[in-house]
Amino acid sequence: MKHLLLAFLAGAVAACGFQPWNLWPLTLAAFAALLWLIGEAPRLRSALARGWWFGVGHFTLGLNWIATAFTYQAAMPAWLGWIAVVLLSLYLAIYPAVAAGIAWKYGRRHPLALVLWFAAAWIVTEWLRATLFTGFAWNPEGVALLDAAGLAGLARYVGTYGLSAVAMLAAGALLLAARRRWRSAAGLGVPLVAAALLLWPAAANEPAGSQPRLRIVQPNVGQQDRWRPGVPEAVLRRLGALSRAGMNEPRLLLWPESAIGEPLEDQRQHPAYQAEAAWARETVTQLLAPGDLLLAGGVTVRSADGRRATGATNSIFAIAGDGRLLARYDKAHLVPYGEYLPMRPLLSAVGLSRLAPGDLDFDPGPGPRTFDLPIVGRAGFQLCYEIIFSGEVVDRANRPDFLFNPSADSWFGAWGPPQHLAQARLRALEEGLPVLRSTPTGISAVIDADGRVAASIPMHRAAFLDARLPPPHPPTPFARYGNILPMLFALVLAAAAIAVGRKSR
């Protein structure tokens, strides 16, 4: 029992390396403690239990922001949010448990082999966590290394899941050094230090003057107010006022997810519905200058028969200054219980509902696409939650010049928005592409192609941010090959673990 409590506490400490605390050395120390606990386990069952309790502590603290989302709806009690956090953590903890079990099973006879097996297994289990049952990729361990000197630059070569393994190797080096296994510690630590020095981030370059001008608008309207009578109209007026203030030349305007409350497109053929959509488009057009390009979140009402609303899409619209709809991107990776209710007949019968208002479930779009637009050229879109999925954010056959990631982070308390921003930074670093974020309440930001925040609007402030669009980098190795690279890294680590194990025998 003592070891399980230690594992639980170590998991909670490891979560302190994520935003908003960003105490990444604690994450490494906590994983070093977990590796020690695994190595000391007398049986496979004990190793699995220690990994699982570590995961429970880790996810319960790191995902506490999910409970906040339940306070913005009336269909279910707010305390249910904490039950949801714990239940989700009990499930997610399976993945650290599996990694712990693999490390103990194959590496327990040699501490270095244990570390190598754990790092290899962590890549695979973290990828599985992001994939199975629609996936939940939030807070991969690699994101804790974003500000850890040059180590984050390894994401260009081994991706997020490979960077998570680097965190495990660094933790293993700490453990081996603490146990005075100097050669093994040096075998892990020296390559990591060398990589950090080689990839030490250079000074940020200002975007070239020829790059397009952009304005990110943050209206500062919280989720508790978003759907009150008259608020959507007031939000639109505020967005328009912030968009027009002090700018006379054509520019790219970026508004948050769900910025436009009324459907801009409606597949129902009734004249009243068509008139409402036309009115919404005209209202938005009046807020734009003739040469502007607006990228904004909105919805489309879908109809299978042209009469009844049978679904909707959570979308990003590209709207020209003259009112033309130039492009529409439909969110592909939807949030269970947020944008649709799984097993709706069963769960609705027991009183459960979506967290977001409305009776219609959203329909998924086709996935990453690149749109050729005026002013900015090739644009890629990832709507809110989608940006957290490593290797799934870009159309590799038609690489964009930047990614636009509007979001509605006002649901997620004090921890969710900075964690979301950190994961968007990691996508920029992996892909070598700038990422632009616009949110209702923050944190809105311009992220350059090295994953650095070039400019931002803090939380809970109504403001706009003027900047130049940062240029993209040439495709990184990860941008070319995706998650094949971290899987190859896992094979290399496993092969090294096997070699160490054989040598020790």
Q: How far is CA 498 from CA 100, 109, 112, 473, in A?
A: 16, 11, 10, 37
3-state SS, residue 6:
helix
Residue 431 appears among annotated catalytic residues: no
Residue 80: count other Cβ atoms within 10 Å of its Cβ.
14
The tokens of 381 are what? 């879109």
Q: Helix (H, G, I), strand (E, B), or coil: what is residue 33?
A: helix
> Three-state SS string across 338-355, please?
CCECCCHHHHHHCCCCCC
Active-site residue among 384, 386, 430, 431? 384
Cis amide leading into 20 (omega within 30)? yes
Q: In 3-state terms, what secondary structure has residue 424? A: helix
10 Å Cβ neighbour count for 160? 28
Number of CB atoms found within 10 A of residue 162's CB: 27
Q: Pick the closest to residue 392 from 106, 58, 91, 161 (CA basis).
A: 161
Per the DSSP assignment, residues forming a β-bridge with 435 are: 403, 447
Closest-CA residue to 320 (of 275, 285, 283, 286): 285
Q: List the catalytic residue out of 16, 126, 262, 331.
A: 331
Strand positions, DSSP E, 199-282: 213-218, 252-254, 265-266
* Tokens 């943050």 found at: 218
What value, to the nearest 5°, has the Cα angle with vertex 481 and ends 476 and 482?
Answer: 90
Q: What is the dihedral of CA 493, 496, 500, 501, to 10 degrees?
A: 70
Does the annotation count 126 as an active-site position?
no
- The alpha helices in 41-154, defined as continuous H runs, are 44-62, 65-69, 80-92, 94-107, 111-129
**384 in catalytic set:** yes
Considering only CA atoms, which of 291, 293, 312 is closest in space to residue 303?
312
* 345-349 CB contacts, 8 Å cutoff, 24+ apart: none
Evaluate whether 376 touches 402 at the Cβ level (below 8 Å): yes
User: To the nearest 10°, the Cα dihedral for 352, 356, 361, 366?
Assistant: -130
Q: Which of 16, 126, 141, 257 is catalytic?
A: 257
Dist. CA 478–CA 203, nearest whole Å: 22
Catalytically active residues, by annotation: 257, 331, 384
